[in-house]
A and B are shown apart, each in its own frame.
Chain A
Amino acid sequence: MRNASRIPNVRNLGIALRILLIVNAALVLAALISSHELSGFLQQIASISTFAQPVLLISLFLLYGSLPLLNKLGYRKGVAAILALVLLSTAGIYSFFNQFWIFSDLPSLPRTLLYALMISGITLYYLNLHQRAYSPAVAEARLQALQARIRPHFLFNSLNAVLSLIRSQPKQAETALEDMADLFRVLMADNRDLVPLAQEISLCRQYLALEKLRLDERLNILWQIDDVPPDTLVPPLVLQPLLENAVYHGIEPLGKGGTVTIQIYTQQNQIHLVLKNPCSTKTNHQGNKMALNNIKERLTLHFDLEASLKSRQANGEYEVHIVLPYHKQT
């Protein structure tokens, strides 16, 4: 299934932007070829645009609306349907222009349709290539390589902490080992598919319970989860490695400890994950950068331009801000 070509997801901002760019580049190219001087070129662009932009926008709207249907058709039939849609909207606009506008230099209908077909074909071909390069097919290997790795430091310190509990507090030791088992199950699982946010949050809670065991009152956690659909899908381990960094670089070097704040909220159909921790003078540890780049790349592979990760440091505080599209299980 992963290797199959898929209908381009025009509902994704990155894909929609790419379509607009390619089509407009093709229009400019066409204008360049068919004109001799600069003034002629500008005029040519203007007249082509007046006709082509409405076609482009209407086609995009139609595709946006019919995407679920197209997906059901499969790739080949879907592409045929897309081309039909484009031709239909071209013909529609053409007849509209012919009736209400006197356009002397409008080429004949068959020629216009041929142009529309060519440009759509090129765009679809490019998007197919792009999809092969970026989404699951090839990215599978990259995602596999990017699987977050837990710090050995954490593993051995946690085992040590559990050992210290066995004699005096066996019940607590049991809970700790169960948490560890869950954590490592996720870490060792196939982490290529998106998971519900609620699952990631509960994993983070188990991880933090283990850290709390070691650091006790030095580690304070503040969760601020605000009106977030728990079924929204996120890349697995999008938050846990960041928490691990916050504890390792932010809390552990502080003798008195500190607070890690996790804010999760929805804004304009986007999910925001904000993580803050105190930071001492030295920053930009290699380990920290590695985790950030890893998550950044996984976000790109899953969401393209629709997700972002920013980090900044101000007033003795380090902050990571992730924005994700609200993505529900289908």
Chain B
Amino acid sequence: MSDQTTLNILIADDEAPARNRLRELLADISNTHILGDAKNGKEALNLASEMLPDILLLDIRMPEMDGIEVAQHLQKLSKPPAIIFTTAYDNYAMQAFDMSAVDYLLKPIRLERLQTALHKARALLPGQLAALAPLSPQRTHLSISERNRILLVPVADIIYLRAELKYITVRTAEREYLIEESLTHLEQEFGNIFIRLHRNCLVASAYILGYEKRNHDENGDKQWVALLKHVPETIAVSRRQQHLIRTT
């Protein structure tokens, strides 16, 4: 980006003084325009997908959704903003940033540091994001991009995840969504929430009402199925996973 074009900037920080400080500093830097500010991670994500800023100044520790997760979801946009993380102090975060060469600013932020960061700001590379993922070990939401909007599905609302061809069906009480992720990765990330009842299905243990034996098998054998809260359909329990019924 050349120095002449105006940079459109979005600020995301949960603390009002921190937002003020950034506004003041940006006022001293020419060719910058502040599009708005967000008070938490979710708001940051909504505003960013709506306003499409060039640069997002993103605090890491925020309520609702932390900065790392916001950055992950933002990659679903066709033209994600360049992200500059801001943080007060976090040893682990700083190490992770250094390793993946992501730009970050330490609060209190200096004017010169902010200037340099704006100059060299670039969109995150997938590899950098992957390196930061451990900082936010479990996402609070899954995201789906819809007409360049980001749709968030709270993980707590998901009843089951079923792999179908190249997509995964995400079932909530209201509707179904399709996402492009790997069931194995989801199982690793959310192993404390979902259990694998079938080769192609992860079910949230909080939504399992109970188990029942039914005539379903093509061999006429009786098969166990899981009964679920809020949805009429049942999930077949594969023979290999039947030990789960006894333990749960």
Where the two chains meet, the residues of A that have a C-beta atom closer than 8 Å to any C-beta of B are 151-153, 155-157, 159-161, 163-165, 167-168, 213-216, 252-255
Contacts known (A163-B21, A252-B63); A216 close to B16, Cβ less than 8 A: yes
Q: Which 5 A-B pairs give the minimum distances between C-beta atoms?
A: A164-B21, A161-B17, A164-B17, A152-B89, A255-B63
Partner of B63, one of A153, A157, A216, A254: A254
Are B90 and A157 neighbours in the complex by a CB distance under 8 Å?
A: no
Shortest beta-carbon distance from A109 to chain B in Å: 71
Residues on the A chain within 8 Å of B39, using CB: 255
A164: B residues at CB distance < 8 A:
17-18, 20-21, 24
Which chain B residues border A151 with CB–CB below 8 Å? 89
B residues less than 8 Å from A155 (CB atoms): 89
Cβ of A157 and Cβ of B88 under 8 Å apart?
A: yes
- B187 at interface by CB-CB < 8 Å: no
Query: B141 interface residue, CB < 8 Å from A?
Result: no
B40-A153 in contact (CB<8A):
no
Q: Is the contact region of chain B dominated by helix, strand, or loop, or is it mixed?
A: loop
> Smallest CB-CB separation from B106: which chain A residue?
A156
B61 touches which of A165, A167, A216, A252 (Cβ 8 Å): A252
Is the CB of B107 closer than 8 A to any CB of chain A?
yes
Q: Are B64 and A167 in contact (CB under 8 A)?
A: no
Residues of A within 8 A of B15 (CB): 157, 160-161, 214-215
Least CB distance, B85 to chain A, in whole angstroms? 14
A168-B20 in contact given A157-B88, A255-B14 (Cβ < 8 Å): yes
Contacts of B17 in A (CB 8 A): 160-161, 164-165, 213-214
Chain B contacts for A215, CB-based, 8 A: 15
Q: Does B108 contact A (CB under 8 A)?
A: yes
Interface residues of B in 78-134 (CB under 8 A from A): 88-90, 106-109
Q: Quick check: B89 and A160 within 8 Å, CB to CB?
A: no
B50 CB to nearest chain A CB (Å): 19
B90 and A253: CB pair below 8 A? no
Within the assembled complex, what's the spacing in Å between the Cα atoms of A168 and B21?
Answer: 10
Question: In the complex, A151→B91 CA distance in Å?
Answer: 12
Complex alpha-carbon distance, A85 and B21, angstroms: 71
Assess the A153–B89 pair: CB atoms within 8 A: yes
Indicate if the CB atoms of B108 and A163 lie closer than 8 Å.
Answer: yes
Cβ contacts under 8 Å, A153 to chain B:
61, 88-90
A155 to B109, CA, bound (A): 14
- Given the known A-B contacts A167-B24, A255-B39, are A157 and B18 also in contact in the complex, defined by CB atoms under 8 Å? yes
Alpha-carbon separation in the docked complex, A178 to B23 (Å): 25
- 20 more CB-based (< 8 A) A-B contacts, given A153-B89, A156-B106, A160-B21: A152-B88, A152-B89, A156-B88, A157-B107, A160-B88, A160-B109, A161-B17, A161-B18, A161-B21, A164-B20, A164-B24, A214-B17, A214-B18, A215-B15, A252-B14, A252-B61, A253-B63, A254-B63, A255-B14, A255-B64
Which of A160, A214, A252, A253 lies at the interface centre, i.e. has the most chain B CB atoms within 10 A of its CB?
Answer: A160
Separation of A1 and B20 alpha carbons in the complex (Å) = 53
Q: A152-B89, A153-B89, A252-B61 are in contact. Are A160 and B40 (CB under 8 A)?
A: no
Tell me which residues across on chain B come within 8 A of A252, comparing CB atoms.
Answer: 14, 61, 63
* Residues of chain B with a CB closer than 8 A to A156's CB: 88-89, 106-108
In the bound complex, how far is the Cα of B90 from the Cα of A77, in angstroms?
Answer: 56
What would be 12 A-B contacts, judged by CB atoms less than 8 Å apart? A153-B89, A153-B90, A156-B107, A157-B15, A160-B18, A160-B88, A160-B107, A161-B18, A163-B21, A214-B15, A254-B63, A255-B63
A139 → B minimal CB distance (Å): 30
Question: Is there an interface contact between B89 and A159, defined as CB atoms closer than 8 Å?
Answer: no
